[in-house]
Amino acid sequence: MALIVDAHEDIAYNILNFGRDYTRSVAETRRLEHGSEIIDQNGHTLFGWSEYQQGKIALVFSTLFALPKRFQVGAWEEVVYNNPDEAHKLYRSQIDIYRRLVDEHPDKFNLIRTTQDLEQHLSKWQDSVEERQRPIGLVLLMEGADGIRSPEELEEWWTLGLRIIGPAWVGTRYSGGWLEPGPITSEGRELLAAMADYKFTLDLSHMDEEAALEALDIYEGAMIASHSNAAALLPNSGSNRHLSDQIIRGIIERDGVIGVVLFNGYLQVGWKKSDGREPITLNHVIAHIDHICQLAGDARHVGIGSDFDGGFGLDSVPHGIDTVADLQKLPPLLAERGYTESDISAILGENFINHLKKNLPS
């Protein structure tokens, strides 16, 4: 089986808000949460230690994420902020969560900050002993940059291990975003200039079209879209959450990688949870992967950014997915479309791995 990189998982948010323990198996977490309000709030979990191993999930872009208070949907949503100071505090607490995971479970989690970290980590996945347990590599990604109170704080975040920054979730003071469109602001331009100096990777996911187009033009560093699908396959969605072909081509031209999301609402326009999982299959996922590959002319600019447990769970992912391990069902479907073994390995993980090799510090 090819190694998988999942470019978007809200691990710390789930630990903080729902008390989830990802050293457990999916079955154990589902048993413990059975009948609880968590199922209504975030769905049945798709992540667990056993399933990471079964699916050969070698690397995860693990997020720092908190919700602006204005988007809080209930008192149960505790990881919320009113201002940059509160966002900063929440993001720092999530850094602490990842550090604690690594310190308390060094056999299970590695923090990836440098190319040396990456090479040492990947070497643990390259032997042929199938039953061996291997750690998950965590690359830190900030989703929504309100926790950066000024560009001067980037040195602090870099030292803490942050390597990827998405300026927007919804709109922030830096950028128009999902549900709140608009351009990059003057503060956002200052942030991007400072990010490039430190060689942060820019994440275009959640940025509004206008902001993303400007970022493609002015950002001098590396860029990805960690978890976004193709707007061309979602006509009349009424959402600015998806990537136009113009943005996709821009990311390709900048040698970036796009992680495809496995949320049913982003795979078929109008899908509702009441529709059930059956209408959405893994072939919907393959269609978005293939669309990006057709625009690129190769299979080197697309990957997976599942966003599992990111406000949705089992009931909202394609039929055929029970846990993250089932991402390994994608290869035979890609092969049916004519993708080679090399292409499939690239899509599942090597594209994001190569991006890290080029852009992490030594």
Q: Is the pLDDT of residue 188 over 90?
A: yes
pLDDT tens sequence across 331-360: 999 999 999 999 999 999 999 999 999 999
Give the model's confidence band at 126: pLDDT under 50 very low, under 70 low, under 90 confident, else very high.
confident
Decide if 291 contacts 233 (C-beta within 8 A): yes
pLDDT tens sequence across 153-177: 999 999 999 999 999 999 999 999 9
Interstrand relation of 136-143 and 109-111 (parallel, antiparallel or unpaired): parallel
Average pLDDT, the chain: 97
Q: Residue 161: which region, alpha, beta or left (left: phi > 0; alpha: psi -120 to 50)?
A: left
pLDDT tens sequence across 254-281: 999 999 999 999 999 999 999 999 999 9
pLDDT tens sequence across 21-31: 999 999 999 99
For 304, phi then psi, to 5°, come to -120, 130
Bridge partners for 243 per DSSP: 230
* CB proximity list for 245: less than 8 A, separation 6 or greater: 230, 231, 232, 295
pTM above 0.95, yes or no: yes
Residue 291 confidence (pLDDT): 99
Nearest to 257 by CA among 331, 330, 174, 201: 201
Q: Structural domains in the chain?
A: 4-359 (3.20.20.140)
pLDDT tens sequence across 199-238: 999 999 999 999 999 999 999 999 999 999 999 999 999 9
Residue 127 confidence (pLDDT): 72
Q: Is the pLDDT of residue 283 over 80?
A: yes
Decide if 277 contacts 312 (C-beta within 8 A): no
Decide if 165 contacts 145 (C-beta within 8 A): yes
Quote the percentage of the chain above a pLDDT of 90.
97
* CB proximity list for 47: less than 8 A, separation 6 or greater: 9, 11, 22, 26, 308, 309, 323, 324
Q: Encoding tokens for residue 87?
A: 């966002």
Residue 277 confidence (pLDDT): 95
Q: Is the pLDDT of residue 131 over 70?
A: no
Give the model's confidence band at 15: pLDDT under 50 very low, under 70 low, under 90 confident, else very high.
very high
Nearest to 202 by CA among 244, 239, 247: 247
